[in-house]
Amino acid sequence: MNCTPYREDVSRYVDRELDEGRIALLFAHLAGCTGCREFLGSMMELRSALHRLPAPSVPATLDRRIRAIRPDRRKLIQLLIDPVHAWWNRRLLIPVPALAGTALLLLSAALVSFSLWQSALHSPVPKLQVLYIMSLPTVDVEGFAPAQPPPIQ
């Protein structure tokens, strides 16, 4: 059995660069291949060991030495760095716009909420006014004539 493509997939899986479909195929292969399972175990141990190493120290004179590199050698160095830079940008291509959109949405929701809260604090509360209407019964009294209203001119 040719395990070369699966070994490459193991490396991508350890680096978290393998898509879901290939992960399913890889684990189906790992179920029947002892050599690839051992390779996965050694890759995981290597990754764990690398994470336990201390961070390398950078000399204070590194910046000065980089600036002293001749321009023709800078191009060569740039050709070596560009693939890493392109990989980093590709990794950030989706999360950055999604993060920016989410931040904008949360900020606008916070501003609307704050505006509504402030308007509720400063708006006058209408006072409740109660009006009582009473009606008295009409009683006719014999011999009493109500006063006539004056004529309207």
Name the residue ranges covered by the structural domains of the chain. 1-55, 65-117
pLDDT, residue 41, reads 92
| 29 vs 10: CA distance, rounded Å | 11
State the burial class of residue 142 (Cβ atoms within 10 Å of its Cβ: 0-12, 13-18, 19+).
Answer: exposed
The DSSP code sequence of 92-112 is HTTHHHHHHHHHHHHHHHHHH
pLDDT, residue 62, reads 78
Identify the residue with better confidence: 41 or 64: 41
Q: How confident is the model at residue 45 (pLDDT cuts 50, 70, 90)?
A: very high
Region of 143 (left: φ > 0; alpha: ψ -120 to 50; beta: rest) is left
* Per-residue model confidence as pLDDT tens digits over 67-123: 776 666 666 666 666 766 666 666 656 566 777 888 899 999 999 988 887 877 777
| 74 vs 2: CA distance, rounded Å | 41
Residue linked to tokens 């989410």? 102
In the predicted model, what is the mean pLDDT of the chain? 79
Phi and psi at residue 141, to the nearest 5°:
-115, 130
